[in-house]
Amino acid sequence: MSRHMLRFVQILTLLKRWIMNKKKKGSRSFVVYTAIVVALIVALFAVNQLQEKKENTDKKMGEAPSIEGQPVMGDENAAVTVVEFGDFKCPTCKAWGESLWPELKKEFVDTGKVKFSHVNVLFHGEESRMASLASETILQLHPDQYWTFHKALYDAQPQNHDDTWVSEDSMLEIAKAAIPELDEQKFLDTIKADATADAVNQDISLVNKFNVQLTPTIMVNDKMIANPLDYAAIQAAIESELK
């Protein structure tokens, strides 16, 4: 049950109790009270429906997130930009990447209609930050290998995503396995020196600017998709921007 529906049911219960009370007291205005209450219920229901509709609708944000300095996959001249705000510690992001992303890539990125970018979200504390630093480091040192590392990170996420798995050591191991030409020393030095902190902070500013509340959050140009797991909604938003 949604938050709104729950509140609605609570209000209904209160009103019912109130009516029963009036009835017991034998109030002469019982009919009037009941009519008022019924009118109130109808009004509440209408407001509730409107609210739910508003929250479940894709939202125009007025501008698209800047992808300057971000990893970009696909034709840089593509008319539509899809940005995923994601967190390597987030299980839904991993699921999104495995279930929905391959289809999106095949239909829109590989065909040159969409360029795709990823912005780090740090909703899971220090581990999110370390994974973000590591991915920004790969973007800096081996930009061609960014998406390989990106996928390797999500692949490494354990079944129980609350388990601790992100550390300097694990980042190095995952990077070594994914990128044969990895400059290991430079990778470690860059992470230890916090040298990609500016890039991570730039991502945090975007998260704040667009008021990102959940991961993944998907934006199609300036439109924020209400349900990131609804492929048809993403598809429709892209098609409408392509027109």
Name the amino acid, one letter, at 54: K
Shortest distance in whole angstroms from residue 105 CB to Ca ion:
19
Q: Does 84 bind Ca ion (CB under 5 A)?
A: no
Question: Two tokens at 130?
Answer: 């370390």
Among 128, 203, 228, 234, binds Ca ion (CB under 5 A): 203
What character string, x for contact with Ca ion (CB under 5 A) and - otherwise, covers 90-129? ----------------------------------------
Which span (30-38, 150-158, 190-198, 202-210) binds Ca ion, by CB under 5 A? 202-210
- Residue closer to Ca ion by CB (options 72, 233) is 72
Structure tokens at 12: 């209904």
Tell me if residue 78 falls in helix, strand or coil.
coil
Burial track 22-51 (b if 16+ CB lie within 10 A, e otherwise): eeeeeeeeeeebeeebeeeeeeeeeebeee
For Ca ion, the binding residues in 44-83 under the rule CB under 5 A are 70
Per-position b or e across 71-102, b if 16+ CB within 10 A of its CB = bbbbeeebebbbbbbbbbbbbebbebbeebbe
Name the minimum Å distance from CB 175 to Ca ion: 17
Q: Which is nearer to Ca ion, 84 or 203 (CB)?
A: 203
CB of 243 to Ca ion, least distance (A): 30
Site residues (vs Ca ion, CB under 5 A) = 70, 203
